[in-house]
Structure 1
Amino acid sequence: MINHIRGGHILPAMPTEPWMVRLANPLAGINGDHGMNAVRYDVTDNVAVLTVEYPPVNALSAAVRTGLGEGLAHAKSDSAVIAVVIVGGGGTFIAGADITEFGTEKSKILPSLPDLQHSLETFPKPTVAAIHGTALGGGFELALTCHARVALASAKVGLPEVNLGLLPGAGGTQRLPRLVGPEVAIDLITTGRHISAARALELGIIDAVVEDLVMGAIDHARRMATHGATLTPVIERNEKVEGISPDLFTKARQSVAKKARGKIAPLVIIDCIEAACTLPPAEGLAFEIAKFRELYASDQRAALMHYFFAEREARRVPGLAAEPRPIGSAAVIGAGTMGGGIAMVFANAGIPVHLTDISEDAVSRGINLIRKNYDVSVGRGSMTQATADKALALIATATDYADFADADIVVEAAFERMDIKRDIFSRLDAVMKPDAILGTNTSSLDIDAIAAATNRPGNVVGVHFFSPANVMKLQENIRGKLTSEQTIATVMALGKTLGKNVVLAGNCDGFIGNRMLQYYTGEAEFLMEQGATPEQIDLVAEKFGMPMGPISMRDMSGLDVGVLVREARKATLPPGERFSPILERLVERGRHGMKTGKGFYRYEGREKHPDPETTDIIEQVARELGVQRRTFTDEEIEFRLFAPLVNEGAKEIEDGTAIRASDIDVAWVNGYGFPAHKGGPMYWGEQVGLHRIYEAALGAAQRNGPRWGPGKLLERLATEGKGWKDA
């Protein structure tokens, strides 16, 4: 491909994405999409207004690019036009690339996004981007090449490409630092955060916040034209990128590396921003493109792209035709940490909610905890005081179920015991309005047994949040045998309202996530029997990208709790199945985890330390079992930890617990911290090879018992060399 030289800037050849392609194609208007059908051209007060009308989000399709190119050419040649405004029609400004055109002939149609950017930066008349809704990715990068930007107060801007394992590929890492400085640019681009118009104005990204978008932009453009404003492109503004100490980038890399936990794109973004501060503009742009290409070809980009679509696919339930009911009010049973967090989730979404418990004291403690949580959020700057006050005002308290009998949904978050939950649901059935949804936050109990305590099993559903509920993004909905389609549709839609990523699971012990979790933690215990240390196991998991290792997770959740769960599970085990007795031995010694100051580790506050007593207990167990201990490589431990997740996930697809493999990925990324840049456990398993997962399951069955063996689906896919799409 040929480099283009324009205005003294070398514009390198680029890969075939809609915002990057430079291959000439005269077929503007392919399939009838003539550019000016997607972009309306009007003139008001001698200002040309180019309105992009390409629903739903005005993506930078071939039609939009063609229309903008034609509109700019027309405005340039019209002597009566003194300035240009670009605005999005409908609910938003211009979105980024049109992903539906990736790899198609439409992606090759000129002008490309860099062509349009060059036209805007060298345009002889003032150009103004008028932003409402969101200006993200390529749309924001286009706006950065206008001479000025104005926005409604409700607008947001951002460069979220890092969430797909990429960097802004159309000059974002080169232009944004020139407006806000490298430190702020690093924060915004490596996190992919969207920022408000007010913050963008404060930072100098936009030039004005207006009340009437089009007229405000026209007035701004006219003032620029009539006052003879200097039309200096952003790419040529160097004041904020000169004289930057290399220490800034060294410290940024250290800080970002801790948060990125193995992601490569954030660190490459810092390299590009440093290039903006050390190279001439043309070389900086060329460096950005080269790095974009590297990231586009990376495994992480492929994994994150898979995950991006997995989140959206998980919301869709095949064959579900029912319309969701509107949810205007809610109630939560249980004012503990989980119940209080769930109440916050409803309140944060603007839904009035009653919080109830068995006594006024319990409710009072719950409300006080909620207040503290909001105070922490305000103190961190993640929430304003006004927003926190508004949410808190939506939370009412009650000890009598009759006080919230008219609620549209009630979520029970009481102690994890079947007798307690059945009693609660029986009482709710007697007082709640007939069409109210009765949800349970159980993490593993039988939804059908809970529903049987009511006369409305069609309205009973699992609505499983993860702790802390106001932070964790997963909402795992569980359907019982008699749960109605409308109930399912309602809780799936509710997840979007609450800002959660939703998956639908079938009813079984542990559902999607916790059913798999026992194999992850169980394998960690077997590894300790065989010679791996708790510290090595945790370190391997953390290097893999997990927020904490399985041993530390055990200590945090409580070893005594794990023993109780296991005792209940043992009653249903097939012959030949075993658990490692390490957990029970630790609990017998009073080592219940972090809450008692000692579990697998010894704790000083939250700081953990290896403990020789733990080593002695593990070695004693190994001797009693006749286990020959040895050393393990990190690679062995990694595969042993995560392969059982994939094996059990395959069984969930086989028996209908999970609709799709990608739903399991969504559950584990959002509920358990599985690294999104590895795509989720099922995607990871497919990449390492399903034949390897199958062979590992055969070996695990011999060591640990029949539950660890492979199912028929995994056997078929491994034997035939197929993947999850063939499941």
Structure 2
Amino acid sequence: MIYQGDAISVKTVGDQVAELTFDLKGESINKLSSAVIRELGEAVDAIQRTDELKGLLISSAKEAFIVGADIKEFHEIFDKGEDYLVEMNQKVHTLFNTIEDLPFPTVTAVNGLALGGGCEMTLTTDFRVMAPKAKIGLPETKLGILPGWGGCVRLPRIIGADNAIEWICGGTENKADQALKVGAVDAVVELDKLRDAALDILAQANAGQLDWQARRAEKASPLKLDPIEAMMVFETSKGYVAGKAGPHYPSPIEAIKVIQKGATADREKAQHIEAKAFAKMAMTDVAFNLVGLFMNDQVVKKKASQYEQLAQPVEKAAVLGAGIMGGGVAYQSASKGTPIMMKDIREDALQLGLNEAKKLLAKRVERNKMTVEQMADALNAIRPTLSYGDFGDVDLVVEAVVENPKIKGSVLSEVEANVADDAIVTSNTSTISINALAENLKRPENFCGMHFFNPVHRMPLVEVIRGEKTSDKAVAATVAYARKMGKTPIVVNDCPGFLVNRVLFPYFGGFMGLMEHGADFQRVDKVMEKFGWPMGPAYLLDVVGLDTAVHANAVMAEGFPDRMARDSKTVLNVMFEHERLGQKNKLGFYRYEEDRKGKPKKQVDEEAYALVKPLIQDSREFSDDEIVARMMVPLCLETVRCLEDGIVGTPAEADMALIYGIGFPPFRGGALRYIDAMGVDQFVQLADSLAELGPLYAPTQKLRDMAAKGERFYA
């Protein structure tokens, strides 16, 4: 044994070859934490002190190779400042360069995921072999940073600047065949032959059949691009990537600049450019928030996993109601491997649901995400029916009929009588009380809410709503099924609107107030889109549907009359009364026409302005900051109330629900992290400055106490 640590071992194998194996004790995956990097330095020192070695093989004893740096350390490390980050990265560069400069050929056996620092680790060796199911990539730009351990330097020299820009700016996980195609790896072999193939490459290199020294020289030299080629590659990429990334995500463009600046430099100078750019990006609010988002996602997944351990598996499901929503649920279930019954009372409705599922599956085939055979299997896993005849062995039912308490109550009572006593029954309601719906049931402990967001196939969030009598068993089964469907379930307690809609409608309340005080809804849309929302509030209401919004707003007003009830007619009421329902009938705040692809395209409609004119009480100009404050303060305060009321368990779950459910700008981290970024005391002052607008803008006493004590939602 040459070296033994808690994460790394080095031993001699075969013909004087050292094998450095990553196997982090107590963890299911390998990651490059600060402690592991220190061990790696010790292991490399031990290798350098070992005489007569002829090669180095780097491998992993885990299912994954290395998933990257330890993101849990990022906030603490970023807090140490730019100079510290540059120095830290330079130390890693020195270590990785030492591996790259060892006096014998080197190879990495990539058996599983090699991401971020794990990918950069593989780039230090002369050769790479990869298992067919392994993936490799540099996802750092998704965290608001860029590869800082040589990815921006080595990858362009290995696979070309254009391919490297695509990998780095896209943050993609690349399959083995794609990695082989662009030259990121030298061979793809079956997992059980991977190690032997790697050792064979070393033997060929030592026999002079493979020029490993030429490989090194290329990685240490400037990029082989003439000035015209360089201009074409880098300037074209900047324009394309800027359009894709948008103004709020600077790291992809910064990564291109790093590659461009380092293209004419030697290895060490290019690495210094990279280290400084990494530190610059790490100090941005965007990086802080996106790293926080990753951590929050881990919290949500951990909680879901804890529920899954208690769950009985859902082997067969059913959905009641075969409209667009029911068809979407059926598609999602079947495409992820759970057979599903789809019941309706009308044949034409069943056909509508099947057509929806077929359309979504066909799109996956078109995009090479699924074979025709897999599409056929998925369609066969959806069984339409007009009766409850085969519901006896269904494990979980999703009720997705019209949003009407009486109809839902009747349907739920009916289905309960036709399923096994231990079957779980759920309601895909967006506003109706789970406790109220449970009153219709004989086994309320087996009932909970399962709120999908539309369109089902795109929206990642599922709210799992626990009623007063809902059992842990019912919640666990519903969470497990949602996860199996590829969704992110977040468990919340019952209240009007649950979490997401309860938080969203104060935001709409702020919007209605702005319009009544003279704000142009088109301008409000543009300001909020500039702030980072995927669409402004007027456009969002058109997409949601004004009829749906009016109904949900009435539920919110009844549930929280002190701050959400309105004495006078609202903008929503006026639109609804004039049958302007939004995109569904092509008239809302905007008018909609189909583009060449058949998608609705919004147009200005003067009639909308004429309809809301009688409601306008004032006429004044609002600054962008005023618009943002009047929109965001009610949303953030309602999120605080949901946390204080125990509707949602943690700040992480609250923020992730808003990001996954309504498109809260990810780079801002969520409503509670947004308050933290402003400072709780500053946020309370901002809310107090808007006190004349009513209770929707009133901070809670607990929030005032937090402000006084200098506390935050996130440590």
> Shift in Å at residue 469 of structure 1?
1.4
Mapped partners of 1:643, 1:384: distance in 2:
47
Mapped partners of 1:66, 1:647: distance in 2:
45
Q: Does 1:397 align with 2:384?
A: yes
Mapped partners of 1:675, 1:573: distance in 2:
26
Q: CA distance change for structure 1 residues 37 and 297 in 2, over 3 Å: closer, same or farther?
A: closer
Q: What secondary structure sits across from 1:462 in the alignment? A: strand
Mapped partners of 1:36, 1:591: distance in 2:
65
Q: What is the correspondence of 1:493-508 to structure 2 with a 5 Å cutoff?
A: 493-508=480-495
Name the counterpart of 2:611: 617
> Shift in Å at residue 46 of structure 1?
4.1
Equivalent of residue 296 in structure 1, options 258, 279, 282: 282
Name the counterpart of 2:597: none
Worse-matched range after superposition: 508-517 or 595-604: 595-604
Q: Does 1:656 align with 2:650?
A: no
> Shift in Å at residue 274 of structure 1?
2.3
Tell me, yes or no, if the aligned pair for 2:505 and 2:553 is still in contact at 8 Å: no
Name the counterpart of 1:10: none
> Shift in Å at residue 395 of structure 1?
2.8
Mapped partners of 2:313, 2:305: distance in 1:
21
Mapped partners of 1:583, 1:110: distance in 2:
54
Q: CA distance change for structure 1 residues 487 and 169 in 2, over 3 Å: closer, same or farther?
A: same
Q: Does 1:188 align with 2:190?
A: no
Q: What secondary structure sits across from 2:390 in the alignment? A: helix
Normalised by the length of structure 1, the TM-score is: 0.88
Name the counterpart of 2:457: 470
Q: Does 1:376 align with 2:367?
A: no
Name the counterpart of 1:227: 208
Q: CA distance change for structure 1 residues 474 and 178 in 2, over 3 Å: closer, same or farther?
A: same
Worse-matched range after superposition: 448-457 or 390-399: 390-399
Q: What is the correspondence of 1:283-322 to structure 2 with a 5 Å cutoff?
A: 283-316=269-302
Mapped partners of 1:558, 1:313: distance in 2:
33
| AA of the residue aligned to 1:50 | L
Q: CA distance change for structure 1 residues 216 and 330 in 2, over 3 Å: closer, same or farther?
A: farther
Name the counterpart of 1:39: 9
Cα deviation code 1:643-683 (max 9, x no counterpart): 11111111111111111222111011111111111111111
Q: What is the correspondence of 1:342-421 to structure 2 with a 5 Å cutoff?
A: 342-385=329-372, 387-421=374-408
Name the counterpart of 2:231: 246
> Shift in Å at residue 616 of structure 1?
2.7
Equivalent of residue 703 in structure 2, options 688, 693, 714: 714
Cα deviation code 1:287-338 (max 9, x no counterpart): 1111100111111111112111111223455998872222333222222222
Equivalent of residue 214 in structure 1, options 177, 195, 214: 195
Cα deviation code 1:588-645 (max 9, x no counterpart): 33432223333212233223232322223333212xxxx2210011111112111111
Tell me, yes or no, if the aligned pair for 1:346 and 1:352 is still in contact at 8 Å: yes
Q: CA distance change for structure 1 residues 637 and 544 in 2, over 3 Å: closer, same or farther?
A: same
> Shift in Å at residue 144 of structure 1?
0.8
Mapped partners of 2:196, 2:686: distance in 1:
66
Q: CA distance change for structure 1 residues 357 and 240 in 2, over 3 Å: closer, same or farther?
A: farther
Mapped partners of 1:181, 1:110: distance in 2:
23
Cα deviation code 1:55-75 (max 9, x no counterpart): 321222456445545555555
Q: CA distance change for structure 1 residues 242 and 508 in 2, over 3 Å: closer, same or farther?
A: farther
Worse-matched range after superposition: 182-191 or 391-400: 391-400
Mapped partners of 1:594, 1:655: distance in 2:
35
> What fraction of aligned residue pairs are identical, expressed as a percent?
34
Equivalent of residue 583 in structure 1, options 572, 590, 611: 572
> Shift in Å at residue 251 of structure 1?
3.6
Q: CA distance change for structure 1 residues 699 and 382 in 2, over 3 Å: closer, same or farther?
A: farther
Mapped partners of 1:436, 1:130: distance in 2:
47
Cα deviation code 1:672-720 (max 9, x no counterpart): 111111111111122223334434545656434x455333322322343
Equivalent of residue 240 in structure 2, options 241, 255, 261: 255
Tell me, yes or no, if the aligned pair for 1:421 and 1:450 is still in contact at 8 Å: yes
Structure 1 unmatched ranges of 5 or more: 1-28
Mapped partners of 2:530, 2:469: distance in 1:
43
Mapped partners of 1:580, 1:183: distance in 2:
57
Mapped partners of 1:569, 1:110: distance in 2:
51
Worse-matched range after superposition: 362-371 or 574-583: 574-583
Equivalent of residue 432 in structure 2, options 435, 441, 445: 445
Name the counterpart of 2:64: 92
Tell me, yes or no, if the aligned pair for 1:378 and 1:384 is still in contact at 8 Å: yes
Mapped partners of 2:623, 2:88: distance in 1:
51
Tell me, yes or no, if the aligned pair for 2:431 and 2:496 is still in contact at 8 Å: yes
Equivalent of residue 545 in structure 2, options 558, 561, 569: 558
Mapped partners of 2:351, 2:225: distance in 1:
53
Cα deviation code 1:174-231 (max 9, x no counterpart): 2222233333322221221111111111121111111122122222222222234222
Worse-matched range after superposition: 210-219 or 354-363: 354-363
Q: CA distance change for structure 1 residues 284 and 392 in 2, over 3 Å: closer, same or farther?
A: farther
| AA of the residue aligned to 1:44 | G
Tell me, yes or no, if the aligned pair for 1:50 and 1:68 is still in contact at 8 Å: no
Q: What is the correspondence of 1:69-88 to structure 2 with a 5 Å cutoff?
A: 69=41, 71-72=43-44, 81-88=53-60
Q: What is the aligned length? A: 689
Q: What secondary structure sits across from 2:489 in the alignment? A: strand
Tell me, yes or no, if the aligned pair for 2:138 and 2:172 is still in contact at 8 Å: yes
Mapped partners of 1:486, 1:527: distance in 2:
45
Equivalent of residue 647 in structure 1, options 637, 641, 645: 637
Q: CA distance change for structure 1 residues 438 and 240 in 2, over 3 Å: closer, same or farther?
A: farther
> Shift in Å at residue 115 of structure 1?
3.4
Mapped partners of 1:144, 1:655: distance in 2:
50
Name the counterpart of 2:509: 522
Name the counterpart of 1:264: 250
Worse-matched range after superposition: 520-529 or 588-597: 588-597
Tell me, yes or no, if the aligned pair for 1:177 and 1:276 is still in contact at 8 Å: no
Name the counterpart of 2:153: 174
Name the counterpart of 1:3: none
Q: CA distance change for structure 1 residues 634 and 63 in 2, over 3 Å: closer, same or farther?
A: closer
Q: CA distance change for structure 1 residues 260 and 411 in 2, over 3 Å: closer, same or farther?
A: same
Mapped partners of 1:580, 1:189: distance in 2:
51
Tell me, yes or no, if the aligned pair for 1:522 and 1:580 is still in contact at 8 Å: no
Normalised by the length of structure 2, the TM-score is: 0.89
Cα deviation code 1:9-53 (max 9, x no counterpart): xxxxxxxxxxxxxxxxxxxx9xxx963763242402443322221
Mapped partners of 1:411, 1:265: distance in 2:
42
Equivalent of residue 684 in structure 1, options 654, 674, 684: 674
Equivalent of residue 529 in structure 2, options 542, 547, 568: 542
Q: What secondary structure sits across from 1:674 in the alignment? A: coil
Tell me, yes or no, if the aligned pair for 1:333 and 1:339 is still in contact at 8 Å: yes
Tell me, yes or no, if the aligned pair for 2:19 and 2:57 is still in contact at 8 Å: yes
> Shift in Å at residue 111 of structure 1?
11
Mapped partners of 2:333, 2:514: distance in 1:
41
Instruction: Give the root-mean-square deviation of aligned CA atoms.
Output: 3.0
> Shift in Å at residue 271 of structure 1?
1.5
